[in-house]
Amino acid sequence: MTMQAYIPSGGLVGKLKRQAARRLSKLPLQIALEKPMVSFSFDDFPKSAGEAGAQILERHGWRGTYYTGGGYAGGETHLGRMYDIGDLKRLHANGHEIACHTFSHIDVGRTALEDVEAEIERNRKFLTACGFEGALETFAFPYGEASPAAKQALGKHFRVLRGVRPGINRGTADRGLLMAVPLDGGGAGLKRALNWIEEATRNPGWLIFYGHDVREAPSEWGCTLDFLETVCRAVAKSGTEVHTINCALDRIGK
């Protein structure tokens, strides 16, 4: 499957749609942590994230969450080679979380609700046919694009739904659109990621990172191995607990 560069809704209409998704149909999630918690997640997911990314996390004794779109299996995109069935089985066997990202990486904010639910069911069936026997407990909106109606509907199928708005989830968070910090942007992006770790340490909450490819010449949406390793070292130095999205919810008690 070939992924085309996404062009989000622009202008005032696009801004209002995103504000509506953030402000309406909130699904409250109470998060009160004495110590900060971090989760690493990868969207789509490129083979490099399932190999190099997973290896870096595992060296620290951690596991990640892989938001999987069935339509990408065995393909190649601007993120590089995408995962194959062997990657999926290996990650699951090693304790990583396999999560849902729709089958065709659709923009949920622009898609009819019945079509969104059909995409998710298609994704479930595809992964089951591939031999994946686990449950898809969490979901990430492709491109971070959501709608109030989709939040309400998908919130019935998944424990949490993740977006891409930067921030730390604490206090009364929205489990229908959890905030997350990107692992991209080169040197400036690395500095921002490290600043978010410091912020989570000062004022404990749940910091979720999301990335794409992990390779020496990454895409605009990816990072280098050294970038990810530097973030991991900072997290380890801070003494922060690291869990998959699903396990983090268990720690929160939800």
Does pLDDT of 10 surpass 70? Answer: no
| Distance from C-alpha of 173 to C-alpha of 15, rounded to nearest angstrom | 21
Q: What is the pLDDT of residues 111-143, one digit of tens each?
A: 999 999 999 999 999 999 998 888 899 999 999
Comparison of pLDDT for 243 and 6, the residue scoring more: 243
**Whether residue 2 has pLDDT greater than 60:** no
Q: Tokens 């490290």 belong to which residue?
A: 194
- The reported pTM is 0.93
Tokens of 105: 């990486």
The string of pLDDT tens digits covering residues 48-78 is: 999 999 999 999 999 999 999 999 999 999 9
- Provide φ and ψ at 107, rounded to 5°: -85, 105
Tens-place pLDDT, residues 170-219? 999 999 999 999 999 999 999 999 999 999 999 999 999 999 999 999 99
Q: What are the E-state strand segments in the chain?
A: 28-31, 37-44, 65-68, 76-77, 80-81, 97-100, 138-140, 160-162, 171-174, 181-182, 206-211, 241-242
The percent of residues above 70 in pLDDT, for the chain, comes to 90
What's residue 1's pLDDT?
46
* Look-up of token digits 């971070």: 144
Domains belonging to the chain, first-starting first, are 31-252 (3.20.20.370)
Ramachandran region, residue 93 (left: φ > 0; alpha: ψ -120 to 50; beta: rest) = alpha
Residue 4 pLDDT > 80: no
